[in-house]
Structure 1
Amino acid sequence: PVAEELDLKRAAAAAGEKSLSMLHVRDLLATTGYVRGGCSPVGMKKRFPTLIDETAQLFDTIMISGGRRGAQIEITPDDLGTYCAATFADICRATDASV
């Protein structure tokens, strides 16, 4: 969710990894084919494991980046998960309101 913060420890656990880190912006284009502001699990040059916060499944449709600045895609969470072979998991940092 756009208003939440990714919890890298939770994401690593969901991915079955010891740890994860964010990709540095200078490596973004060469690694994914995307420019900053246009990152998306849809259309990556190389398929990476994809995690989607489980709260996405609470909605009929969600909006994601279309892979270019300003391009948006409205899609069902299940269709996105299927297309990306994604895992739905609790990957956001707990906030005071949710504790």
Structure 2
Amino acid sequence: MAKKNVKTNAIRLIEQQKIPHEVFEYTTEDGEAVDGVTAANKIGQPVERVYKTLIATAGKGHFFVFVIPVATELNLKAAAKAVGEKKIEMLATKELLSLTGYIRGGCSPIGMKKLFPTYIDETAESLDYFIVSAGKIGMQLKLAPADLANATKAKFASIIVSE
């Protein structure tokens, strides 16, 4: 029997800060990899409102969090420029859990082991709400982008590959 309303670190932190939010849960098959577009469909939300969390590095000890729309790609050059580095690369999946405390597909920008410099794509800045991972596969968190920016000390920047 699955326990309902399991609170993740992300949800606990949002509640501690009294940030208005909504939690969406959906089911996945065991071992099913769920991309953001599938997650959006499973919770009945527009794809353009669902954002994914990516971690990049500029070398030992230099880690950055990027929150971008699920149907887009991170522009590594633009992201490097936003964080003030010459070059960055995506973090290897095998390093994700030990660095953030989250697994691939369930990585939330909130509640990582450490607060890393966080950047939210500027497309979110004008939205009244968007949806990010709540910290585990099958859970999404709906909140205002400005509230997420305040909670993670994030900056808004142009960091996605443009069409």
Give the alignment's TM-score, normalised by structure 2: 0.57
Moved over 6 A (4+): none
RMSD after superposition? 0.8
Report 1 or 2 for greater relative contact order, CA contacts < 8 Å, sequence distance ≥ 6: 1
In structure 2, how many angstroms separate the alpha carbons of the residues matched to 1:85 and 1:70?
A: 26
1:22 aligns with 2:90: yes
Give 1:86 deviation, angstroms: 0.4
In structure 1, how many angstroms separate the alpha carbons of the residues matched to 2:89 and 2:100?
A: 15
1:13 aligns with 2:110: no
Structure 1 residues 9-88: aligned runs within 5 Å? 9-88=77-156
Aligned to 2:159: 91
Bigger strand share: 2
Q: Aligned with 2:124: secondary structure? A: helix
In structure 2, how many angstroms separate the alpha carbons of the residues matched to 1:53 and 1:5?
A: 11
Equivalent residue pairs, number = 95
Uncovered stretches (5+) of structure 2, i.e. residues with no partner: 1-68
Structure of greater Rg: 2
Give 1:58 deviation, angstroms: 2.1
What whole-Å deviation, never above 9, does each CA across 1:35-81 have from its counterpart, x for those lacking one? 11111110001111111000001211000001111111101010000
Amino acid at match of 1:86: A
Uncovered stretches (5+) of structure 1, i.e. residues with no partner: none
